[in-house]
């Protein structure tokens, strides 16, 4: 490599690169966001997305997976890159680029195995606290992208337990989109995808007949995920 090219590297500004994860969870009733106290907030009521620094030897995806595991003890969950935030003034301490990811988990799977240095809490999307830095902007973008993604692909299953009922599934999508869905159209559309396997088991206690449990056909889900354009068309929403 030519010497003048090496000098160009030496004279360039150096920046920090961070990962911030917008972690959505569903508790059977409402859509929630997992936030933490990271010890750098100036105000006691200011909360942060789960995040950390990218290491020299890591890819962005590897860093996002590692950070999420260190903070939640969860691995192999849905994790997708959302956007890069790089306003020069976004971090008052040092110029930092943040790569935002959004993750989807079922609240029941969440483990409390957090470092003692962290305080984690689920917040309803209807009652979000004050955020650190530009994290509110990240969350707003993630919510809009989640709604778009959920309308195009069967991404909502990532937020459910292994077995669920159609009413539970509808309640999830109503929580995502913030509106009521037509019961008959929703059920017909979901069953027509052939993604659901009906189980010989019913949920008891909510109605006389009870609702049958279903589970996702994992093989079809993985193979056909990207083919479900307009997964929930306007007629259902």
Running along the chain, 237 residues long, what does each successive block of 10 average in pLDDT?
75 92 92 82 78 95 92 85 96 94 85 59 91 96 95 92 92 92 89 92 72 92 83 68
Q: What is the pLDDT of residue 116?
A: 55
**Long-range contacts at 60-64 (CB < 8 A, ≥ 24 apart):** 60/19, 60/99, 63/19, 64/19, 64/21, 64/99, 64/101
Q: Could you tell me the domains of the chain?
A: 7-151 (3.90.79.10), 154-227 (1.10.10.10)
Q: Whole-model pTM?
A: 0.88
Decide if 164 contacts 176 (C-beta within 8 A): no
Structural tokens at position 198:
């009906």
Q: What is the pLDDT of residue 130?
A: 92
């Amino acid at each position: 490599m030519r010497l003048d090219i090496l000098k160009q590297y030496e004279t360039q500004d150096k920046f920090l690169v961070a990962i911030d994860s917008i972690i959505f969870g569903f508790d059977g009733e409402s859509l929630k966001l997992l936030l933490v106290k990271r010890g750098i907030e100036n105000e006691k009521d200011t909360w942060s997305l789960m995040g950390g620094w990218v290491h020299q030897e890591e890819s962005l995806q590897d860093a996002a997976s590692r950070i999420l595991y260190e903070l939640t003890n969860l691995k192999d969950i849905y994790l997708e890159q959302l956007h890069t935030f790089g306003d020069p003034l976004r971090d008052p301490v040092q110029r930092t680029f943040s790569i935002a990811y959004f993750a989807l988990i079922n609240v029941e799977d969440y483990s409390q195995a957090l470092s003692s240095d962290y305080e984690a809490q689920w917040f309803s999307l209807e009652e979000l606290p004050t955020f650190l830095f530009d994290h509110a902007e990240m969350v707003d973008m993630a919510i809009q992208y989640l709604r778009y993604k959920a309308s195009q692909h069967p991404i909502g299953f990532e937020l459910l337990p292994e077995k669920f009922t159609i009413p539970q599934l509808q309640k999830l999508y109503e929580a995502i989109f913030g509106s009521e869905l037509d019961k008959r159209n929703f059920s017909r559309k979901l069953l027509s995808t052939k993604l659901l396997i009906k189980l010989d088991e019913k949920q008891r206690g909510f109605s006389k007949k009870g609702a049958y449990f279903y589970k996702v056909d994992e093989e079809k889900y993985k193979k056909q995920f990207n083919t479900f354009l307009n997964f929930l068309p306007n007629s259902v929403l």
